Amino acid sequence: MAATFFGEVVKAPCRAGTEDEEEEDERKKETPEDREVRRQLARKREVQLLRRQTDTSLEVSLLEKYSCSKFIIAIGGNAVAFLSSFVMNSGVWEEVGCAKLWNEWCRTTDSAHLSPSEAFCVFYHQKCNPSVFLCQCSCYVAEDQQYQWLEKVFGSCPRKNMQITILTCRHVTDYKTSECTGSLPSPFLKALKTQNFRGRVCCSLLEQPNIVHDLPAAVLSYCQVWKIPAVLYLCYTDVMKLDLITVEAFKPILSSRSLKGLVKNIPQSTEILKKLMTANEIQSNIYT
């Protein structure tokens, strides 16, 4: 407990998170109805992988069903826009699955009929080379769902003969530096790679004491532990909503081995990106 200047006694905040005893106390006070509500909530929060065309769940994890040599995962609106404009518009991609999940931030209930502005998580493979996979994930995957997502996508038998590339954004105020945040030239790109990644990295590595959380961290941790070559490209930006300059900050990655061969016409892709931005601005107009 701590006393404030006003003389009130309040519970002091703790960097260590919820204490174990609080969880134990909650459990002891639970009625059968509480337990049922908690079970139903856990079921609602389960991550499911399904084929939208048939509205059926995948019987096994995605990478147990399909062989994969290259997997590019875009997490967040700007990373998704980058892959849409530069990679998906340069080839023919077939949808192979969609992750259906519900949490306080991502309330998509009907994954079969998603509008462009809704958050989603869809998996594709390239028609001419089906071992090349893409994931476009613009929904937030909560901390209790991240390991489930990994299991549904990667399964229980990690494969080392594939390369993973993850693209995501973070707000520039999360970047720890001895300089003042306001003087940083955002957006800028940083990278983290697993021990088994041997390729060239397209920007400087993320220095300590900076760390990464959430789904990108879950995927990279999985790759590090199971010795899968993987690289995470992190764009620090001061604009978290869809933004042309932020998306274009990912451009150095176009010369990497992961994306080489997947991108055909960069000027055309840039035009497609500008149209995507314009379309998004119209949708976000409160008068339409």
Q: Which of 39, 44, 160, 213 binds other proteins (CB under 8 A)?
A: 213
**157 contributes a contact to other proteins by CB under 8 A:** no
Per-residue binder mask for other proteins (CB under 8 A), 13-32, x = binder: xxxxxx-xx-x---------
Which C-beta is closer to other proteins: that of 1 or that of 92?
A: 1
Kind plus residue range of the DSSP H or E element containing 267: helix 266-283
Which C-beta is closer to other proteins: that of 96 or that of 206?
A: 206
List the alpha helices (DSSP H) in 75-162: 77-86, 146-154
Q: Which of 119, 217, 240, 254 binds other proteins (CB under 8 A)?
A: 217
- Taken in order 283, 109, 40, 222, is the CA torsion positive or negative? negative
Q: Which of 48, 131, 210, 270 binds other proteins (CB under 8 A)?
A: 210
From the CB of 100, what's the least distance to other proteins, in Å?
Answer: 20
Q: Which of 56, 115, 156, 178 binds other proteins (CB under 8 A)?
A: 178
Token duo for residue 270: 């840039």
Token duo for residue 190: 């940083």
Binders in 222-261 for other proteins, by CB under 8 A? 224-226, 232
Token duo for residue 113: 């009929």
Closest CA to 129 of 69, 51, 207: 69
* CA 98/CA 58 separation, integer angstroms: 10
**146 contributes a contact to other proteins by CB under 8 A:** yes
For the chain, how big is the Rg over CA atoms in Å? 21
**136 contributes a contact to other proteins by CB under 8 A:** no
Token duo for residue 242: 């869809």
**46 contributes a contact to other proteins by CB under 8 A:** no
Binders of other proteins: how many residues, by CB under 8 A?
Answer: 48
**1 contributes a contact to other proteins by CB under 8 A:** yes
Closest CA to 87 of 134, 50, 49, 36: 134
Peptide bond into 209 cis (omega under 30): yes
- Residues at the site binding other proteins, with contacts judged by CB under 8 A: 1-2, 12-18, 20-21, 23, 143-144, 146-147, 175-183, 192-195, 205-215, 217-218, 220-221, 224-226, 232
